[in-house]
Structure 1
């Protein structure tokens, strides 16, 4: 079973990812800001156009901003309507069991509250 505690292997992977992120960032900055003449002098003539140095971060930002409304829409589509019987009970419902309570001050076990009990508390 895996645990979230730090281990030497995770430290090595983390350090390698840390270095790789900085190397990729430096390569990106060099590609974006150094003129093509200097890059061709070092025989780097097969790089993408400079347009993509600006376009890809802009696209990623817009994708990030549009991910929230898309996620909320997906959750809305997956949620049962308010008149659905699945909201009342389903195969995973837990019936409250008062016999398993050891003493009066203890916390009751986790269980679902019936819709009639909820309506009685809210509306009566």
Structure 2
């Protein structure tokens, strides 16, 4: 089974090159349609074209849509992000919780993940000792 790679295959490279050329053709066609007077376009046989109004309206609509959608999606991301005090931020299915049973003093303590509260408490006591 072949391994998937992000490097372009010959087919993807050809598609990309064709889309690259097509984007330039569409852009230059748009610029010619927007700036060349209608009489010149009629003279070469192009009679069925949209109004020049749309040469300004479509990019303006696209920019306004982007400017309104960007803050909306940023807000949506912020709403869906759990708060820093949430356990889902610091734990996952591989996290080990502190054992609830008492461990003898001479035993080697088991490995477990520290909670954010324990880390903050350790840092606070370290800072208290450091600055007092």
Task: Specify the alignment match of 2:81 in structure 1.
Answer: 79
Question: Residue 113 and residue 25 in structure 1: after superposition, are their counterparts in 2 closer, same or farther (change >3 A)?
Answer: farther
Secondary structure in 1 aligned to 2:32? helix
Q: TM-score, normalised by structure 2?
A: 0.65
- Deviations along 1:23-60, whole A, 9 cap, x unmatched? 10111011101111122222322211111111111222
Match of 2:64, SS?
A: helix
For 2:55 and 2:63, the matched residues in 1 are separated by: 13
Residue 81 of structure 1, CA deviation = 4.9
RMSD: 2.8
Tell me, yes or no, if the aligned pair for 1:32 and 1:53 is still in contact at 8 Å.
yes
Residues 41-60 of structure 1 correspond to what in structure 2 (within 5 A)? 41-60=43-62
2:95 corresponds to which residue?
95
Tell me the equivalent position of 1:114. 115
Q: Distance in 1 between matches of 2:78 and 2:56?
A: 34
- Mapped to 2, the partners of 1:8 and 1:65 lie a distance apart of 37
The aligned counterpart of 2:108 is none
Q: 1:78 to 1:22 in 2, by over 3 A?
A: same
Largest Rg, 1 or 2: 2
Query: How many angstroms apart in 1 are the aligned matches of 2:52 and 2:88?
Result: 58
Aligned equivalent of 2:27: 25
Counterpart of 2:104 in structure 1 is: none
